[in-house]
A and B are shown apart, each in its own frame.
Chain A
């Protein structure tokens, strides 16, 4: 069987066309294209371009989310095959808004960006207690933990969560990244986080840097 033209997969993710992304993926898999090739050579680069367009104000979030959903639709077909072949995602991230804080828009955006970047994302939601971060990170064998806070009065929960990882003796098993309106690099350094991203789009390069 001849190799199908895979550019439409890239285009479908870029334009947020989930139906086409899924159809092209199905077709490619039937033709024997390596699942990893679809992810690494078409889907992740397309999401990279989406991120670029978002960063330079060509795309709004609704367009970004459509693209993320298109990628997710295609990934649903690919994930089981990748798992069966032993291939790993770019990383596994446990993400949540810290205890006492109910803001989840920024956290949701970071989750969408990380998924688009090829990461497996486990979203714990909002008002997440420190012990929950630790428990799920261990249970899912995550290599990254991402925490969000929007309030100055909930920022200290980030420190408490990092301390909970230390107390459980698993701090060195995960890299911890933080973000949110009141957060700064200085604060990240002060509480012993491994990284800070100022924007949602900045979370993906940061995750890559931390995992390197």
Chain B
């Protein structure tokens, strides 16, 4: 792994002992950046090896419309029991080579860690039963929701919400959840506003100043929890940032080129989890994961067309090009003609994985041919897809690791994304709607105005952002 272990100061001044800095991309050759293959595979307790020649389905499910309260907990338990039992049975029937289950807690469950732990146990009991009876190997990823944003402006580093969230991680890890993930939200207070205003400097401030600082704080904690329980700190996602941009772009609310640049910049923030010691697989909804895979060489979960049950995207096929687990994001437990939705979703994932794994079994050339189709079927149609071609991913990864600071990395990778999009449009390789073209100039000009010095940038931004939405001290400012 091309990392240099070093001590990095946390925002509160303390040194983060596990931090490492990636000084060069682990994967420089785009042909090495492909599904089911990474430099540092991850082994689970039951012997699944992620990123070593097989892609595994990763299933996430959630409740149908209902409240989660003490009174409804019997029904909540029954729902989760039914979802996992049916999905596991289908995985057995389809002879899945293994299964990743993700349990993403809902806010009331994180507020009441005992509920989250109890539901974790229900899931794990069923998974162990399927292993004992049918030999199905599986692993549970726990993703508590980031509770801190329940309070506005949020308190990021103290208070009962943070405590409940960390207790949820701790309790679920103790119960046997093997991978710890989160969709953390530090910096989102500023970032949401920046997205709506088309303000790329605000995006940079949210992701690379506030976001990076919060990630260092949070992932130092999570890595420590993982170490304590002998489990893995897996990874984070810029879901609340770049996926919000993607969905807004899909609804024609912001330009797609803007969302593409946001995606590239978001990798700087998500990378911090790995700098703090996370080992993958990165969280499924992090569409910036190909860039992180190139930098770290770690396995990554991805989601694409099979996540349409949760949200739409222009990245349905290309997202699969570099996946190590293949996810559906989340599906409600509702009845479909084929069965309950999580079971149907699992079947779709298993069939996709069969295809990936058949190609992998036929050797690198076959895998690269399938990857080519996955990439080229999406890339020319949307700038958000274009920046995720393996060649472009390696370029973006390189721009990030070359930069001396997260701020410079965000600025430089944003400019690189603009350059790649502009060039592809000029060459006729990528469609960019005429009304979006002026935005490339706007974004470039704004990024070029960002100084090298972080303190200077913070001094410029603090008067420009809405400081009623966040507490600077919570970010060490």
Interface: A57 (CB within 8 A): yes
Complex Cα–Cα for A156 and B106 (A):
14
Interface: B332 (CB within 8 A): yes
Interface: A100 (CB within 8 A): yes
Q: Which residue from B107, B149, B196 sits with its C-beta under 8 Å from A65?
A: B196
> A57, B252: Cβ atoms under 8 Å?
yes
Interface: B150 (CB within 8 A): yes
B352 to chain A, nearest CB (A): 25
Interface: A62 (CB within 8 A): yes
> B107, A60: Cβ atoms under 8 Å?
no
Tally of contact residues, A, Cβ under 8 A: 22
Q: Which residue from A62, A126, A127, A155 sits with its C-beta under 8 Å from B254?
A: A62
> B196, A153: Cβ atoms under 8 Å?
no
Within 8 A of B (CB), among A39-62: 57-58, 60-62
Known contacts A61-B248, A152-B64, A104 near B196 by CB under 8 Å: no
> A155, B65: Cβ atoms under 8 Å?
yes
> A153, B68: Cβ atoms under 8 Å?
yes
Interface: B337 (CB within 8 A): no
B119 to chain A, nearest CB (A): 14
> B255, A153: Cβ atoms under 8 Å?
no
Inside 8 A of B106's CB, which chain A residues have their CB? 151, 153
> Which of A102, A108, A157 has the most B CB atoms < 10 Å from its CB?
A102
By beta carbon, the residue of chain A nearest B255 is A60
Tally of contact residues, B, Cβ under 8 A: 27
> B63, A104: Cβ atoms under 8 Å?
no
> Which of A57, A104, A153, A156 has the most B CB atoms < 10 Å from its CB?
A153
Complex Cα–Cα for A211 and B248 (A):
30
By beta carbon, the residue of chain A nearest B65 is A152
> Which of A100, A108, A109 has the most B CB atoms < 10 Å from its CB?
A100
Within 8 A of A (CB), among B190-210: 192, 195-199
> A153, B67: Cβ atoms under 8 Å?
yes
> B65, A156: Cβ atoms under 8 Å?
yes
> B63, A65: Cβ atoms under 8 Å?
no
Known contacts A62-B198, A152-B64, A153-B65, A105 near B254 by CB under 8 Å: no
Interface: A125 (CB within 8 A): yes
By beta carbon, the residue of chain B nearest A66 is B197
> A108, B196: Cβ atoms under 8 Å?
yes
Within 8 A of B (CB), among A104-136: 104-105, 108-109, 125-127
Interface: A192 (CB within 8 A): no
A186 to chain B, nearest CB (A): 12
Complex Cα–Cα for A108 and B149 (A):
17
Interface: A80 (CB within 8 A): no
> A105, B66: Cβ atoms under 8 Å?
no
Known contacts A60-B255, A61-B254, A152-B332, A105 near B196 by CB under 8 Å: yes
Interface: A182 (CB within 8 A): yes
Inside 8 A of A156's CB, which chain B residues have their CB? 65-67
Interface: B244 (CB within 8 A): yes
Known contacts A58-B435, A104-B192, A105-B196, A152 near B63 by CB under 8 Å: yes
B191 to chain A, nearest CB (A): 11
B471 to chain A, nearest CB (A): 16
> B149, A61: Cβ atoms under 8 Å?
no
Complex Cα–Cα for A14 and B254 (A):
18
By beta carbon, the residue of chain B nearest A61 is B253
By beta carbon, the residue of chain B nearest A108 is B196
Interface string of B182-226 (1 = CB under 8 A from A): 000000000010011111000000000000000000000000000
> A109, B196: Cβ atoms under 8 Å?
yes
By beta carbon, the residue of chain A nearest B193 is A108
> A100, B255: Cβ atoms under 8 Å?
no
Inside 8 A of B149's CB, which chain A residues have their CB? 102
Complex Cα–Cα for A109 and B64 (A):
27
By beta carbon, the residue of chain B nearest A63 is B198
Within 8 A of A (CB), among B213-261: 244, 248, 252-255
Within 8 A of A (CB), among B138-163: 149-150, 152
Interface: B53 (CB within 8 A): no
Complex Cα–Cα for A153 and B107 (A):
10
A190 to chain B, nearest CB (A): 11
> A60, B252: Cβ atoms under 8 Å?
yes
30 A-B contacts, Cβ less than 8 Å apart? A57-B252, A60-B252, A60-B253, A60-B254, A60-B255, A62-B196, A62-B198, A65-B196, A65-B197, A100-B108, A102-B107, A105-B192, A105-B244, A108-B192, A109-B196, A125-B152, A126-B152, A151-B106, A152-B62, A152-B63, A152-B64, A152-B65, A153-B63, A153-B65, A153-B66, A153-B106, A156-B65, A156-B66, A156-B67, A157-B67
Q: Shortest 4 CB-CB distances between A and B: which pairs?
A: A62-B198, A152-B65, A61-B253, A57-B252
